[in-house]
Amino acid sequence: MNMNSQISGNRKKNYIMALAFVIAGVVLDQFTKSLAAAHLKGKNPFVILDGVFELQYLENRGAAFGLFQNQHLFFFASVVLMTVAVIIFYGRVPMEKKYFFLRACAVLIMAGAYGNCIDRISHKYVIDFFYFKLINFPIFNVADIYVTAATFLLFFLILFYYKEEELERIFHSGKRCGRAD
């Protein structure tokens, strides 16, 4: 087997693994939302730490902080655009260990986007249930955790971890980065 076919095979295997992790993330998100609907809907919040953290059922028809209420077309268009952007980004990220966390961020963002998209399609709202009462933080779900954690990690990596020339390999290169470790 020549080097190019080995790199291509590693890239394909990496794409398949990424897709499997996106699916696993969506399944976990949907499972937790089904538990929230079954055990929290129509009931008083389940207090975990009094005055600090509780599980509370909420049907969110908007985005974070209640923005874009009932804007279904906006949300679907956002998921389509995000999917295209993440696929292009993922295709440009080198398949080297050094870039693992960038690829992981892409996977988490996709899992979160599709987890909430499934809710919007099936219910016309997103099920939220984690509530930090102490700081009155907006109620959120597992998909939101994926997107938020990945976004913060992505900004951290870009600002503090990767060198400029390492990022240029992704953002300013006209071709895919195919090297694999």
Q: For the range 132-139, what are the long-range contacts, defined as Cβ-Cβ under 8 Å and sequence gap of 24 or more? A: 132/52, 132/53, 133/51, 133/52, 133/53, 133/54, 134/51, 134/52, 134/53, 138/64, 138/65, 138/66, 139/56, 139/58, 139/60
Inter-CA distances, 75 with 82, 91, 103, 141, Å? 10, 24, 23, 17
By annotation, the residues acting in catalysis are 128, 144
